[in-house]
């Protein structure tokens, strides 16, 4: 079902483990009174209120006020057919209250987002119960891409074919909510593991830890340029092949109706090898005729030092570190939340399923980001209007 050769981030940990609990919130200790507050060091600013809170369960979907549905949700049929978003109970009042307190009481909040925030926009992930890894998929490695022209041809042919679908995805309610928090000064710094630029389209400008597929870079001289220009060059070099791909009936963004196509989180797409095995031609660098690759971190490669250092700096200096939609299984992400925890910051995760940091984070919420974040925006003293 899934292509064995596709761009992805440097996964450095065991495969994702499906959640075994149905509770919508998981805390490392009792979530009330003195014992929970003991989890925070003297540097930590976040304290959660005492007393009992009744759970508020609802079966409706929550949207951001003032934001058209078409801008915040992927096509309903697509999500139904692809089962991209893992199942989760609606967020409880307790979930919302604790997340609100963390944001409201922080003065140097750092947010790290992962693939889970984009699944609600129709872009599949890898590690969730419905993700690519669940069927034995293995991503392309940096070494494989560099040494094998066949691997590069396969990657670029499939990536070209999937580009139209990939770029059709729209920012979701969670992206818009985060952009609103940023604009209101509630987020000090944002980091994303995603390469899809949906944060940018919602109005944010996060540090892209793993790069972006919207840029192409030369492995030989370092020259980089816009991915759309690369797409045009591919089309010019492969007119018949490009015409065949573009004539396919894609349907909604992410549809896999034609030829059993399967969309990947990074824009790659499963397609019959007869389209790329021999006749597909790859553009070369404009300046040195070198090998071109997407400006992302492949498995087996490292995050550029300057980028990694900046992410570590803000993690160590924050008073609260919030992970959204990531299992933090990659070391590049896990080391950040661990560093924040060790420096005394409050740490929290909102993610469907288990994460690598569950053993030490102070707060863990199991919920869809598009349902909980818009509600947090309308809670207490935040009351932040969503961006239009």
Catalytic residues: 210
- Cα→Cα distances 259→156, 182, 301, Å: 18, 42, 32
Q: 288: annotated binding-site residue?
A: yes
What distance in Å separates the CA atoms of residue 34 and residue 299, rounded to the nearest whole number? 43
Strands of the sheet with 211-218, listed across from one edge: 224-226, 211-218, 292-296
Number of Cα atoms under 13 Å in the Cβ half of residue 372: 30
Q: 195: annotated binding-site residue?
A: yes
The candidate with the shortest Cα–Cα distance to 349, out of 116, 165, 143, is 116
Which residues are 147's β-sheet partners? none
Q: 362: annotated binding-site residue?
A: no
Q: 29: annotated binding-site residue?
A: no
- Other C-beta atoms closer than 10 Å to the C-beta of 282 total 19
Q: 352: annotated binding-site residue?
A: yes
The candidate with the shortest Cα–Cα distance to 195, out of 296, 119, 322, is 296
SS3 64: coil
Contacts for 342 with CB less than 8 Å, ≥ 6 apart:
none
Q: Do 323 and 114 contact (CB within 8 A), yes or no?
A: yes
Q: 194: annotated binding-site residue?
A: yes
| Farthest CA pair distance, the chain | 69
Quote the DSSP letter at residue 65.
T
Q: 196: annotated binding-site residue?
A: yes
Q: 285: annotated binding-site residue?
A: yes
Q: 24: annotated binding-site residue?
A: no
Q: 351: annotated binding-site residue?
A: yes
Segment holding 19, helix H or strand E: none
SS3 152: helix
Residues within the annotated binding site for NAD(+)?
193-196, 325-327, 351-353, 369
Residues within the annotated binding site?
193-196, 218, 221, 285, 288, 325-327, 351-353, 369
Residues within the annotated binding site for Zn(2+)?
218, 221, 285, 288
């Amino acid at each position: 079902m899934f292509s064995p050769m596709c761009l992805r981030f440097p996964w450095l940990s065991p495969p994702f483990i499906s959640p075994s609990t149905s509770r919508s919130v998981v805390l490392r200790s009792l979530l009330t009174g003195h014992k929970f507050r003991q989890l925070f060091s003297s540097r930590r600013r976040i304290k959660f209120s005492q007393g009992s809170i009744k759970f508020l369960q609802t079966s409706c979907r929550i949207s951001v006020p003032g934001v058209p549905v078409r801008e915040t949700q992927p096509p309903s049929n697509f999500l139904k057919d692809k089962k991209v978003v893992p199942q989760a109970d609606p967020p409880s009042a307790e979930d919302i209250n604790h997340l609100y307190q963390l944001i409201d009481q922080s003065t140097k909040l750092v947010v790290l987002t992962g693939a889970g925030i984009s699944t609600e926009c129709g872009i599949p992930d890898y590690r969730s119960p419905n993700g690519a890894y669940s069927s034995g998929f293995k991503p392309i490695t940096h070494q494989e891409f560099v040494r094998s022209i066949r691997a590069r041809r396969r990657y670029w042919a499939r990536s070209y074919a999937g580009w139209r679908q990939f770029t059709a995805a729209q920012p979701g309610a969670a992206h818009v909510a985060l952009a609103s928090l940023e604009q209101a000064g509630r987020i000090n710094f944002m980091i994303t593991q995603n390469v899809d630029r949906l944060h940018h389209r919602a109005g944010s400008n996060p540090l892209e830890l793993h790069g972006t597929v919207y840029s192409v870079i030369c492995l030989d001289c370092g020259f980089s340029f816009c991915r759309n220009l690369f797409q045009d060059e591919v089309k010019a070099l492969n007119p018949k092949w490009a015409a065949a791909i573009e004539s396919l009936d894609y349907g909604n963004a992410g549809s896999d109706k034609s030829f059993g196509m399967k969309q990947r989180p990074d824009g790659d797409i499963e397609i019959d090898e007869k389209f790329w095995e021999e006749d597909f031609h790859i553009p070369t660098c404009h300046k040195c005729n070198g090998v071109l690759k997407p400006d992302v971190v492949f498995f087996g490669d490292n995050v550029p030092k300057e980028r990694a250092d900046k992410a570590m700096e803000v993690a160590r200096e924050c008073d609260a570190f919030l992970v959204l939609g990531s299992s933090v299984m990659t070391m590049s992400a896990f080391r950040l939340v661990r560093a924040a925890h060790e420096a005394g910051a409050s740490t929290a995760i909102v993610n469907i399923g288990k994460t690598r940091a569950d053993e030490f984070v102070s707060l863990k919420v199991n919920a869809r980001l598009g349902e909980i974040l818009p509600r947090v925006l309308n809670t207490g003293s935040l009351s932040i209007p969503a961006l239009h």
